[in-house]
Chain A
Amino acid sequence: MICCKECLDLLYDYIEGSLDQETTDSLEEHFQECPPCISFMKTYKSTTTICRDTLNQVQVPDAVREALLKVLKENKEHPGEN
């Protein structure tokens, strides 16, 4: 059986679905014997989701949007001045 270290090294490709069948089988065999690695895999996956959902919430503030529009408009009318 593969050990936890090998298991965690394979996580990335496992989640991508890019492991060959044989490696996938040995990884899943490890999961069956090792609940900590299942927990690790699940929390590894949610780390990405949680961070993505949080960081993607960044919105351009209205004031910034307006300021940008103004600069871009001026730039189009008088290129090269700012």
Chain B
Amino acid sequence: MSFTQPKEDKKLEEALVREFQGGNLEAYDKIAEIYQKKIYGLSFNLTRNQMDAQDVTQEVLLTLFRKIHTFQGKSAFSSWVYRITLNASYMKLRSKKKEPNVSIDELMPSFNGAGFQQEKIQDWSENTESLLFTNETRDVINKAIDLLPEKEKVVFLLRDVEGLSTEKAGEILDLTVPAVKSRLHRARLFLRKKLANYFEEFTSRKVEK
């Protein structure tokens, strides 16, 4: 389910970074072009605000320009960029009043004493197609993501949305692989529950027709 960066892209990127470190400004333009969308997308999904995402993108791209000599290649260049992006996004979030997060535990699956599921589980996985890119669905998804506690949210964004490997997400966040997995699993359970409320209603409406 995860897709990692193709080898050739990675080589090309490493070459660009070396060239830029050697003073080639065209290499910097290419790096900025490659990363602009990733930086903007991640910071937008974290801050949910165009101005903030723009500020963060600008700040990160300028930081890459100024601090490239401090990049030593111990971790992947992309991990370095993601880490700078996360820090800049967190700065934006810290400066704002925070909505209280719901407790993620309340939305975890519930079981009876014998360990069997207590709620009725519907399968709405086949019925999402027609709703997928409607504004209503996008709102539901964005709201659900916003409600995720930050720890879970960032893991979900890096791993499931950006498509990074578990190992790489761990490297960026300084977490062990089991910690990444457990946060991601909780994020998915939480989001599944949130989306279930919405899609189940739609599915039952469809059956009634």
Interface residues of A (CB under 8 A from B): 3-6, 8, 11-12, 15-16, 34, 36-40, 42-48, 50-61, 64-65, 67-68, 71-72, 75-76, 79-80, 82
Q: How far is the CB of A6 from chain B (nearest CB, A)?
A: 7
Interface, chain B (partner A; CB < 8 A):
1, 25, 28-29, 32, 36-37, 40-41, 44-45, 50, 53-54, 57-58, 61-62, 65-66, 109, 111, 114-117, 120-125, 128, 132-133, 137-138, 141-142, 144-145, 156-157, 160-161, 163, 181, 184-185, 188-189, 191-192, 195-196, 199
Given the complex, which residues of B lie within 8 Å of A40, measured CB to CB?
109, 117, 121, 192
In the complex, the answer to whether B196 meets A43 with C-beta atoms within 8 Å is: yes
Using CB atoms, name the residue of chain A closest to B39.
Answer: A60
Task: Classify the secondary structure of A's interface with B.
Answer: helix
Which residues does chain B contribute within 8 Å of A80, judged by CB atoms? 66
Task: Take A60-B37, A61-B50 as given contacts and tell me if A68 and B157 are in contact as well, using a CB distance cutoff of 8 Å.
Answer: no
The answer to whether A39 and B161 touch (CB under 8 A), given A54-B137, A60-B36, A76-B25, is: no
Taking the closest CB of chain B, its distance from the CB of A58, in whole angstroms, is 4
